[in-house]
Structure 1
Amino acid sequence: MQPIPTTEPVRLTGRLDPPPNRWLWLLKWLLAIPHYIVLIFLWIAVWVVTIIAFFAILFTARYPRPLFDFTVGVLRWSWRVGYYSYSVLGTDRYPPFTLAEREDYPATLSVVYPERLSRGLVLVKWWLLAIPHYLLGGAIAGSSYSGYRWMDDAAGRYGTPSLVGLLVLYVGLTLLFAGRYPRGIYDLLMGIQRWGYRVSCYVSLLTDRYPPFRLDQGGDEPAAGTRPVTPGAPNE
């Protein structure tokens, strides 16, 4: 197994807190309502910010830093709420009400600020170039997939039955009856969420790095600067 370079600008991590409570997951939809309400308004603001950023990039090739930090903060907040609730069920620690990174919280998300972005790509990457991801995301996440975000973390719901929804339900039932979190399911859910947030950052115009079609599973990102490659597998 050989490492090849990777320069992923989006870094998403999670730490599985052992052991999650057997029954608390049944109430998390209720406990997370304050976050859902705040996130609805924050995501409305993100849509406005993204439109402003679109024209800023088109004319200056730069994403205004305060607007960039705001959008990343909303994504980070959404990830913490999703990790706590029905995207992963990875922790029972209540998410903080903040856009800032909290290194002490078991779910983190960071995006490298790009000094310059392509004026040409900003015209097509959020719809045309992302179509393959939209199609695959719809198959995985069901009708809750909006074409802009991988999962409807802000609303905490799924539309039609989906792979992610079924996996999370299996996790909840396993917690309830066995008191444990299946590690293999956790790694898979983290891979799906990591992929999804890379797509979200790309279509939010935060990066020009095209999201790779792969699941980097597990709580941690691949080691800095490298990722493992199976012999005979094609390089990206």
Structure 2
Amino acid sequence: MADIINAKNLVLSYDTPVIKGASFCVKSNDFIVITGESGSGKSTLIKSFYGGIKVDSGELDVCFYDMASPTSRDLKELRQKIGIVFQDYRLINEWTIEKNVMLPLLIQGHNKTMCKKQSENLLNFVKLGHKIGRYPLELSGGEQQRVAVARAMAHNPQLLLCDEPTGNLDEVSSNMVWDFLRSAKELWGACVIVVTHRAPSTLKFDFRHFEIKEGKVIEGL
């Protein structure tokens, strides 16, 4: 499998360096779990994958785009190949969950019939088809996060980035989200990268574990 992310001596900073000369690669069929202490740079690293933070120095290629010096066109094209799941859901509260899931497809200009069908299929998959006409604030936190996962998968991304996707959820909801993320890899063929404080001991599938320590990205055994 080809590398979907390749980093060499990567440095990322805010006021001071956070990621300090990290080198690693991610294959297109990987499921990656990234852990580290609070403030270690987990979210900073994942932001660099979609251009949410600039590369200070070193090399970073994501989906064959050079993130050290991306053009605005590069970023637009790259983000059409990426799905993102945030800890705080970031759903549009004034829209039904059906329309929220349709959003990536609407941005890409797909016809409404196709958008509605894909949204319906994904909401059924995350076990929310019976609530298709509801609004986000009518759902529990776990249900909102399942909508967010469905939205992130709507356009069949090559790369699914998840920043603390279960941080606000109870154990039952958290386990459901992990199951859906596994399906994103196994059924849809996406490379999945999850940032979390701790990888659950209950995961029943193979994954690669990266830990951020003192600005380095270290792969665990």
TM-score with structure 2 setting the length: 0.29
Higher helix share: 1
Higher strand share: 2
TM-score with structure 1 setting the length: 0.27
